[in-house]
Amino acid sequence: MPSYLLGFLVLLAAFILQTTIAPHIDIRGVQPDFILIVVVTYAFIEGPAIGSVAGFFGGLLHDLVLTQIVGIHALCKTIVGYVAGLVERTIFAESIFLPMAAIFLASLLNQLIYAAVIFLLGYEVPFLMVLMTIIIPSAFYNSLLTPLVYPVVCKLATP
């Protein structure tokens, strides 16, 4: 099976998890972002070009079903996929803690870009409250799910 087709199927599986399971496992209104974890993992494996493409399509799937402003998640995840791809193979280690830390930072970046874009679109963003109640908890949540998602995606993505 071509790697791009397998990548799309993994991204589609993350999207299905995002729309079916994530709403039921939220903690104080914060949901995990399975799509982001998959995008960042693919970016680590394949580099910035594939990371940004995966980010665009994953974000677009997210936008089409889960948000009212189409394109905002596509933009955020494209940028994060590209940036995560810049660190590429340096993230692979025997320990899961380095990928967890990288997913944490990628989640922070994703949420900060999202908040900035929302602010630029004219919405009021109480930054400190959003930082403490959404951005940081979301980053922790995603990093805690990394040991479950990261190894599976790595195994599927590497020949």
Half-sphere exposure of 26 (CA within 13 A, CB side): 11
Question: Does the predicted model carry a pTM greater than 0.85?
Answer: yes
Structure tokens belonging to residue 74: 């596509």
Q: What's the pLDDT at 1?
A: 53
Q: Which amino acid is at 25?
A: I
| Residue 71: alpha-carbon gap to chain centroid | 15
Q: Kindly give, in sequence order, each residue whose CB lies less than 8 Å from that of residue 2, ignoring residues fewer than 6 positions away.
A: none
| Whole-angstrom distance, CA of residue 21 vs CA of residue 32 | 9
Domain spans of the chain?
3-147
* Per-residue tens of pLDDT for the chain, all 159 residues: 567 788 889 999 999 999 999 999 988 889 999 999 999 999 988 889 999 999 999 999 999 887 778 899 999 999 999 999 998 766 565 678 889 999 999 999 999 999 999 999 999 989 999 999 999 999 999 999 999 999 898 888 776
- The CA-to-CA distance between both ends of the chain, in Å, stands at 11
Q: Inter-axis angle of helices 34-46 and 136-157, to 10 degrees?
A: 50
Q: What's the pLDDT at 159?
A: 67
Q: What's the pLDDT at 117?
A: 94
Structure tokens belonging to residue 21: 């399971």
Q: What's the pLDDT at 13?
A: 93
Q: Is the dihedral of CA 151, 156, 157, 159 positive or negative?
A: positive
Task: Fold for 3-147, please state it.
Answer: Arp2/3 complex 21 kDa subunit ARPC3 (1.10.1760)
Q: What's the pLDDT at 156?
A: 85
SS3 state at 27: strand
Contact 58, 8 (CB under 8 A): no
Q: What is the DSSP letter of 25?
A: S
What per-residue string of b and e applies to 69-91 under the rule 16 or more CB within 10 Å gives b?
A: eeebbbbbbbbbbbbbbebbeeb
